[in-house]
Amino acid sequence: MLNDIYYTAIDIGTSKVCTVVARVGPEGQLKIVGHGLAPSQGVKKGQIINVDEAQEAIEASIEEAHSSLGSRVPWAYVSISGNHITCTNTNALLHPSDQNGQVSLEDVRTLTDMSYPEVPFGKEVIHVIPINYVVDGYRSMRNPVGIHAGRLQVESLAVFGDHDNVNETTKVIQNSNVEVRSLVMGGLASGEAVLTESEKELGVVLVDMGAGSTDVAIFKNGTVWYGASIPVGGNQLTRDLSVALGMPYYFAEELKIKWGHAKPEAIDREAEVLLPSFQGRQRRLINRTALCAPMVDRLRETFGLIVVKTQQAGLHRIPAGGIVFTGGTSEMPGFQKLASEALGCPVRVGAPRNIPEISIDHQRPSYSTVMGLLQWGIKQHSERRVRPPMDKRSFSQKPLLERIKQVIMVN
């Protein structure tokens, strides 16, 4: 137990805030030892719009997760998502420092540092991720350490978030007496939980459909190459249903959960659903296919937006690994079949994998992000165990050079 390392992951979503604490033993064995769940407040489409309300939900989730430990893990990996997330590719070049031209680990770290981008006004860097190395202008490789080279180039993916949103996310966590070890793009975290190594190698589009937004991340050659967000999620399906039926949102949400189906005609075309009475209106029957039609239309529209995002990333067609959906919206019955028909490519619905002894609930797609945060954090820690202590200033308050070093260090 003395050599165990504890990790905390916090997923701040539109519908829920989920905190999970894991213990990793000296031999790498992982065990979930705490879980906290609270209804989300003050968050819309992945962005914090009310700090006080968001902090109340986050504190409740953190307290519940740590209640069985008797103490609190002082830092956490935290998800960040929303339409404010943007990406760009950056490049850098250096000549190996070794007299024999052999690439060292320090060369690679220096090169990654050099690829740190110019930060646009109002933005903050979340990640700088090396995605490809080029040796002497023509040999492409993932890990050039030990290779003899006259010059070494790197192509990195820089992920930005709005300054205010990054600052507010960091602030609400730190106000709960937990330091932010790293903010992690939601799609990157979900990919850690649900994708296989083969999918990442072949090329795959990871789509996390949450309540408030849909995160898109493209992986190829084993790493992430692109990330974006669409401001449409499961809540939009509920709103469409509410408008179509002329009933309050909470009634529509109950109907979506109980009777929602992406392919209702495949079950029973004659099935009917009894709509509840409200505000003096009588209960009435409606065909289940008609009930689901507004939600199916919205899903089809979202699939089209996903294709647009892949095209904006420079893809002319869906990669060989297809599209892997996850997130709470993908749990709707018939979802995979509708997505496959609409997109015309291999589709599967993914859930957290390779985590032993997790509960049935945690195996659902709606927990992919928080479980992926844990896996991402453990992976980063194992690859580089020496980290400088985190001080109590928020990320955005630190001097630029210090922020550069911190971003590079945790990626």
DSSP 285-302: EEEHHHHHHHHHHHHHHH
Dihedral pair phi/psi, residue 336, rounded to 5°: -60, -40
CA distance 160 to 319: 25
Residue 207, in any domain of the structure: yes
The answer on 280 and 208 residing in a single domain is yes
Cβ proximity of 89 and 154 under 8 Å: no
How high is the pLDDT of residue 143?
87
The answer on 203 and 105 residing in a single domain is no
Q: Which residue has the higher pLDDT, 291 or 142?
A: 291
The answer on 341 and 274 residing in a single domain is yes
Domain count of the fold of the chain: 2
Residue 240, in any domain of the structure: yes
Residue 52, in any domain of the structure: no
How high is the pLDDT of residue 222?
92
Question: For 369-407, what is each residue's pLDDT tens digit?
Answer: 999 999 999 888 754 433 323 333 333 334 434 443 444
Cβ proximity of 149 and 135 under 8 Å: yes
Instruction: Name residue, tokens 């990790």.
Output: 7
How high is the pLDDT of residue 277?
83
The answer on 208 and 131 residing in a single domain is no
The answer on 335 and 213 residing in a single domain is yes
Would you call 362 helix, strand, or coil by DSSP? helix
Cβ proximity of 52 and 377 under 8 Å: no
CA distance 391 to 72: 17
Residue 312 Cα to chain centre, angstroms: 19
Exposure letters 362-373 (e unless 16+ CB within 10 A, then b): bebbbbbbbbbb
**Quick one: which of 391, 350, 385 has its CA closest to 369?**
350
CA distance 228 to 214: 9
Please, which residues have CB within 8 angstroms of residue 70's CB and are 6 or more apart in sequence? Answer: none
The answer on 260 and 328 residing in a single domain is yes
Question: For 8-18, what is each residue's pLDDT tens digit?
Answer: 999 999 999 99
pLDDT for 49 beyond 80? yes
Q: Which residue has the higher pLDDT, 160 or 355?
A: 160
Which whole number is the average pLDDT over 248-274?
Answer: 90
Specify the pTM. 0.88
The answer on 339 and 210 residing in a single domain is yes
The answer on 223 and 299 residing in a single domain is yes
Of 335, 351, 367, the position where a domain reaches its end is 351
Residue 340, in any domain of the structure: yes
Which whole number is the average pLDDT over 304-333?
Answer: 95
**Quick one: which of 228, 208, 210, 206 has its CA closest to 218?**
206
- What is the chain's mean pLDDT, rounded? 87
Work out the percent of the chain whose per-residue pLDDT is above 90.
68
Residue 145, in any domain of the structure: yes
Q: Which residue has the higher pLDDT, 92 or 386?
A: 92
Residue 383, in any domain of the structure: no
Residue 235, CA distances (Å) to 36, 49, 309, 328 in order? 22, 17, 21, 11
The answer on 217 and 152 residing in a single domain is no
Query: 359 burial class (0-12, 13-18, 19+ CB within 10 angstroms)?
Result: exposed
Which whole number is the average pLDDT over 107-133?
Answer: 92
Instruction: Centre a 10 Å sphere on the Cβ of residue 21 and count the other Cβ atoms it contains.
Output: 24
CA distance 154 to 399: 25
Dihedral pair phi/psi, residue 26, rounded to 5°: -60, -25
pLDDT for 156 beyond 90? yes
Question: For 230-248, what is each residue's pLDDT tens digit?
Answer: 999 999 999 999 999 999 9
Residue 346, in any domain of the structure: yes
Structure tokens at 72: 């609190």
Cβ proximity of 160 and 88 under 8 Å: yes
Which residues sit opposite 139 in a β-bridge?
135
The answer on 343 and 290 residing in a single domain is yes
CATH number (domain holding residue 109): 3.30.1490.110
The answer on 340 and 258 residing in a single domain is yes
CATH number (domain holding residue 228): 3.30.420.40
Question: For 178-212, what is each residue's pLDDT tens digit?
Answer: 999 999 999 999 999 999 999 999 999 999 999 99
Residue 116, in any domain of the structure: yes
DSSP 170-216: HHHHHTTT-EEEEEEEHHHHHHHHH--HHHHHH-EEEEEE-SS-EEE
**Quick one: which of 155, 154, 144, 156 has its CA closest to 98?**
144
**Calculated CA dihedral for residues 30, 36, 38, 40, nearest 10 degrees:** -40
Cβ proximity of 184 and 76 under 8 Å: no
How high is the pLDDT of residue 361?
79
In this prediction, residue 354 has a pLDDT band, given cuts at 50, 70 and 90, of: confident
First to last CA, the chain: 28
How high is the pLDDT of residue 399?
40
The answer on 343 and 202 residing in a single domain is yes
Q: Which residue range is the domain that position 337 belongs to?
A: 197-351
Instruction: Centre a 10 Å sphere on the Cβ of residue 336 and count the other Cβ atoms it contains.
Output: 16
